[in-house]
A and B are shown apart, each in its own frame.
Chain A
Amino acid sequence: MTKFLPLIWVGIWRKPTRTVLTALAVLAGFTLLGTLGAVDAGFRHARDRSPLDVLQVDARFGTPLPLAYLEQIAAIPGVTAMVPRAFLGGFYQQPRNPIFFVATDERFFSFRPELLVSDAQKRRLAETPNGVLVGTSHANKYGWKTGDQIPLQSPTLQKNGDKTWMLEIVGVFDTTFDPPGTARFTMMNYSYFDENRSGPRGTANGFMARISNPDDAVRISGEIDALFANSGAPTRTMSERTSTENNLQGLGNINVLINGVAAAVLFMLLFLTGNTMSQSAQERMSEFATMKAMGFEGRDITAILIGESLMQCLPAAIIGLLVGVKLVVLSPQNFPRDINPPWLAITVGVLAAVIVALVSSSLPAWRLERRPLTEALRD
């Protein structure tokens, strides 16, 4: 087969403009497929990385949950660890720079092993009441460094009525989920937040609970909610996995969109490459007939056509897929991302390119085969 490679190579450069344009169209199409694949992988990843053994206990009706719930929940058999979460939202300098701090304590790190926070940073957070840890994305965007004092404008007032919270950056960190420099997570000390706010002291927006057996998630969630059902602040508990699935579902049916667009792109490309191959085969009808006269068989010619089609589609498709994946990483929109290359999408994409190449060369190959040799020789 390798003997045919020089033939295939000269075949595709017979009309360089046509080949380059076809390859560019394939590149554009597969850029899109790469983008879709990466977005899909991001959603999958967001789901898969959400633990099954961590429950989120939230306020069913938005009422703040008393901290006393912590002990009551921790007493349920199967619950091994707990941490409170409260939220301080606001903006930095301008309303278009919103930031959202999670107020919690050192137990939080065991629930979020993906945060690459050093022991020194954890210590500094514990020692600095108004200290905050910020993701590299925010730090890069606003030029924050460790030791900086930053004002946060928040509708959650301090107890003195002030709406400006002065916070001190005690560390900047990455996560294992985000490409370096893009981590968006931010956290602060719950104790400082709770002491200084004007709202109901001693409450949290929710808790996280680790359970020893993920299979118990539904049962324990039910027990937690039953415990507080008749209180003034009922809870709503579900595993992080379920919660993520809910959130993703709320965005609408992503799969239908991705599949629909991918189908349209492939259909368009199939037509385009098919037409290129047909034209190119048509022009060389008598050349192929001459080769057949020399003893080349129909399947040799077919192999050459498939080779040509693969050679103009496959490299373009692979480059396109990689560009598409990269585009998602660079996209201004905050899609869920997978830091790892989306191998599944790339594999499927390459397969799709091979199929496009096969199908687009099969029609001209069939036509060549059908045309009587003695007539084709006269073309």
Chain B
Amino acid sequence: MLALSQIAAVTMMNLRAIPQRAGASAVIVIGMACVVGVTLSVLSLSEGFMTAIRDVVPKDAVVVMSQGARFPQARFISRDNALTIIDAPGISKTAEGKPRAYGDFYAGVPMTKRGDGFTTFVSLIGQTQAAIASNPDMKIVEGRSFQPGLHELLVGRAAQQQFVGLDVGTTIPLPQGDWSIVGTYTSINALAESALIGDAETLMSAFQRPVFATVQVRVEGAQGFDRLSAEIAANPTLTVNVRWLRDIAAEQAEQLNSLLRFVGLTLGIIMGAGAVFGALNTMYSAVSTRQREIATLRAIGFGPAPVVISVLVESLALALIGAFVGAAIAWLAFNGNVHTVGGALFELRVNRALITLGIGMATMVGFLGGLLPAVRAARAPVIDALRTR
């Protein structure tokens, strides 16, 4: 009780003196704001990307694809195999009692970006009418859907906004002539909106690829997934993997994500080191200007603990203020901004996890920056300190 009130008294004394050392105190606040601002801004990219994947990939979506296919182009499943898979147990059914499993086609087509004129590959996905009809996430907002057998395509609104020449009514060159864009769709899945969709069979024959790329399945929960996996594993004619779509998406995102995390954390660590040195500087000067005050307290009978703690509290408080300023700047500047990576559109996110990270960094910097000065202050011989002019 006594110790606590001592600590409170000394700490309040310190904190009240902060305005007198505004310049030095601002070094910690501004340093920390820069560190947290930069780190969170970079990580908001990776956080946004992960959120886009985590939140919108349907929970029951499963992909069946050939084993060891690292790249979308290397995926293929023969028609026979696809039929076997579609008949397997564990797959959820439509109202009409048909299995919600559909073979699809995949290709990348080069498209020119609006603005800078650079080229990016956009996914061209072949699906069946039934697959689209049974997908509740997708909505056609302009024009109509494609007709099987005709060279017609639907375009995702995100793709339409990003790339040149994808308006409804225009045509794009694909194998075997021009294909017309007949409609625009939106999806709650921002990543799925950055694609072109056509009829699977028509595309397969145009590309002279008589096999499916994957089979897209909706399963009856985790048990359905297990039953489907077991059935497929037991069938020697199938050399395919069954995987949750969310896992695949997360894996694809991981490449970008690990780079961003590496960059963000490298920035955070190096800048954080700079901030620690700045904080040490400020706190050393703070305790040296208060040496006499501290010595007087010690002479009166205060213990070393309140002195140490009060210095630590001051440096932590300043670092935390800085972290909040930095997080606020990152949030105001970037949260909700739309960004594109490799043709996929998503919103940047400065969320609770990142703000927690910022607070963690501030705690580190404040602690490291305050500890040595605090110990020096508590250790200073009382008599010497009282003598300083």
Chain A nearest CB from B1 CB (Å) reads 36
Residue B370 at the A interface, CB < 8 A? Answer: no
Chain A nearest CB from B160 CB (Å) reads 19
- Asked if A272 contacts B271 (CB within 8 A), the reply is no
Query: Can you add 6 more A-B contacts, CB < 8 Å, to A18-B284, A32-B271?
Result: A98-B70, A155-B69, A236-B110, A252-B45, A261-B38, A265-B271
Which A residue sits closest to B124, measured CB to CB?
A: A61
Q: Which of A29, A230, A234 is B274 in contact with, Cβ under 8 Å?
A: A29
Residue A341 at the B interface, CB < 8 A? Answer: no
Residue A368 at the B interface, CB < 8 A? Answer: no
Which of A22, A25, A26, A29 gathers the greatest number of chain B CB atoms within 10 Å?
A25
Q: Which of A60, A264, A278 is B34 in contact with, Cβ under 8 Å?
A: A264
Residue A376 at the B interface, CB < 8 A? Answer: no
- Asked if A276 contacts B73 (CB within 8 A), the reply is no
User: How far, in angstroms, from A25 to B69 measured CA to CA in the complex?
Assistant: 48
Residue B366 at the A interface, CB < 8 A? Answer: no
- Asked if A246 contacts B118 (CB within 8 A), the reply is yes
User: How far, in angstroms, from A26 to B271 measured CA to CA in the complex?
Assistant: 10
User: How far, in angstroms, from A89 to B34 measured CA to CA in the complex?
Assistant: 43
- Asked if A268 contacts B281 (CB within 8 A), the reply is no
User: How far, in angstroms, from A98 to B71 measured CA to CA in the complex?
Assistant: 12
Residue A28 at the B interface, CB < 8 A? Answer: yes
- Asked if B42 contacts A21 (CB within 8 A), the reply is no
Q: Which of A25, A249, A271 is B118 in contact with, Cβ under 8 Å?
A: A249
User: How far, in angstroms, from A265 to B273 measured CA to CA in the complex?
Assistant: 12
User: How far, in angstroms, from A23 to B266 measured CA to CA in the complex?
Assistant: 20
- Asked if B207 contacts A278 (CB within 8 A), the reply is no
Residue A250 at the B interface, CB < 8 A? Answer: yes
The 9 closest A-B pairs by CB, nearest first: A28-B274, A25-B277, A268-B34, A249-B118, A155-B68, A28-B273, A21-B281, A24-B277, A264-B34
Residue A362 at the B interface, CB < 8 A? Answer: no
A273-296 CB contacts (< 8 Å) to partner B: 275-276, 278-279
- Asked if B277 contacts A267 (CB within 8 A), the reply is no
Which B residue sits closest to A238, measured CB to CB?
A: B119
Residue B27 at the A interface, CB < 8 A? Answer: yes
- Asked if A61 contacts B274 (CB within 8 A), the reply is no
Q: Which of B31, B67, B68, B173 is A229 in contact with, Cβ under 8 Å?
A: B173
Type the 1/0 row for B55-95, where 1 means its CB is closer than 8 Å to any CB of A.
00000000000111111011000000000000000000000
Residue B141 at the A interface, CB < 8 A? Answer: no
Type the 1/0 row for B12-41, where 1 means its CB is closer than 8 Å to any CB of A.
000000000001101100110011011001
For residue B26, which residues in chain A have a CB less than 8 angstroms away from its CB? 271, 275
User: How far, in angstroms, from A26 to B339 measured CA to CA in the complex?
Assistant: 33
Residue A232 at the B interface, CB < 8 A? Answer: yes
- Asked if A232 contacts B34 (CB within 8 A), the reply is no
Residue B174 at the A interface, CB < 8 A? Answer: yes
Mark B residues whose CB is within 8 Å of A: 23-24, 26-27, 30-31, 34-35, 37-38, 41-42, 45, 66-71, 73-74, 107-110, 113, 116, 118-120, 124, 173-177, 207-209, 259, 262-263, 266-267, 270-271, 273-275, 277-278, 280-282, 284-285, 339-342
Q: Which of A17, A24, A60, A257 is B110 in contact with, Cβ under 8 Å?
A: A60
Also in contact, A265 and B34, with CB within 8 A (given A21-B284, A22-B281, A60-B109): yes
For residue A278, which residues in chain B have a CB less than 8 angstroms away from its CB? 23
Residue A63 at the B interface, CB < 8 A? Answer: yes
A209-237 CB contacts (< 8 Å) to partner B: 229-230, 232-234, 236
- Asked if B274 contacts A269 (CB within 8 A), the reply is yes
Residue A260 at the B interface, CB < 8 A? Answer: yes
Also in contact, A28 and B277, with CB within 8 A (given A60-B110, A232-B175, A279-B24): yes
User: How far, in angstroms, from A89 to B70 measured CA to CA in the complex?
Assistant: 9
Type the 1/0 row for A327-342, where 1 means its CB is closer than 8 Å to any CB of B.
0000011000000000
- Asked if A272 contacts B27 (CB within 8 A), the reply is yes
Chain A nearest CB from B49 CB (Å) reads 11
Residue A175 at the B interface, CB < 8 A? Answer: no
User: How far, in angstroms, from A133 to B293 measured CA to CA in the complex?
Assistant: 73
User: How far, in angstroms, from A339 to B118 measured CA to CA in the complex?
Assistant: 27
A160-177 CB contacts (< 8 Å) to partner B: 163
16 A-B residue pairs with Cβ-Cβ distance under 8 Å, sorted by A, are A21-B284, A25-B278, A28-B277, A60-B110, A63-B207, A153-B68, A245-B118, A246-B118, A261-B42, A261-B267, A267-B34, A268-B34, A268-B271, A268-B278, A271-B26, A271-B31
- Asked if A268 contacts B107 (CB within 8 A), the reply is no
Which B residue sits closest to A269, measured CB to CB?
A: B274
For residue B27, which residues in chain A have a CB less than 8 angstroms away from its CB? 271-272, 275
Which B residue sits closest to A275, measured CB to CB?
A: B27
Q: Which of B31, B174, B266, B280 is A61 in contact with, Cβ under 8 Å?
A: B174
Type the 1/0 row for A51-67, where 1 means its CB is closer than 8 Å to any CB of B.
00000000011110000
User: How far, in angstroms, from A269 to B263 measured CA to CA in the complex?
Assistant: 20
Chain B nearest CB from A105 CB (Å) reads 24
Residue A31 at the B interface, CB < 8 A? Answer: yes
Which A residue sits closest to B376, measured CB to CB?
A: A17
- Asked if B270 contacts A155 (CB within 8 A), the reply is no
Chain B nearest CB from A23 CB (Å) reads 8
Residue A35 at the B interface, CB < 8 A? Answer: yes
Which A residue sits closest to B30, measured CB to CB?
A: A271
Which of B70, B73, B119 gathers the greatest number of chain A CB atoms within 10 Å?
B119
For residue A257, which residues in chain B have a CB less than 8 angstroms away from its CB? 42, 263
- Asked if A268 contacts B277 (CB within 8 A), the reply is no
- Asked if B270 contacts A63 (CB within 8 A), the reply is no
For residue A234, which residues in chain B have a CB less than 8 angstroms away from its CB? 173, 175
User: How far, in angstroms, from A44 to B270 measured CA to CA in the complex?
Assistant: 24
User: How far, in angstroms, from A251 to B341 measured CA to CA in the complex?
Assistant: 7
For residue A333, which residues in chain B have a CB less than 8 angstroms away from its CB? 259, 262
For residue A230, which residues in chain B have a CB less than 8 angstroms away from its CB? 177
Q: Which of B108, B113, B176, B280 is A21 in contact with, Cβ under 8 Å?
A: B280
For residue B74, which residues in chain A have a CB less than 8 angstroms away from its CB? 155-156
For residue A28, which residues in chain B have a CB less than 8 angstroms away from its CB? 270-271, 273-274, 277
Also in contact, A272 and B109, with CB within 8 A (given A18-B285, A61-B175): no
Chain B nearest CB from A239 CB (Å) reads 12
Chain B nearest CB from A225 CB (Å) reads 10
- Asked if A32 contacts B207 (CB within 8 A), the reply is no
For residue B259, which residues in chain A have a CB less than 8 angstroms away from its CB? 333
Q: Which of B30, B177, B208, B284 is A267 in contact with, Cβ under 8 Å?
A: B30
User: How far, in angstroms, from A45 to B342 measured CA to CA in the complex?
Assistant: 22
Which B residue sits closest to A267, measured CB to CB?
A: B34
Which of B68, B74, B339 gathers the greatest number of chain A CB atoms within 10 Å?
B68
Which of A18, A29, A89 gathers the greatest number of chain B CB atoms within 10 Å?
A29
Chain B nearest CB from A374 CB (Å) reads 22
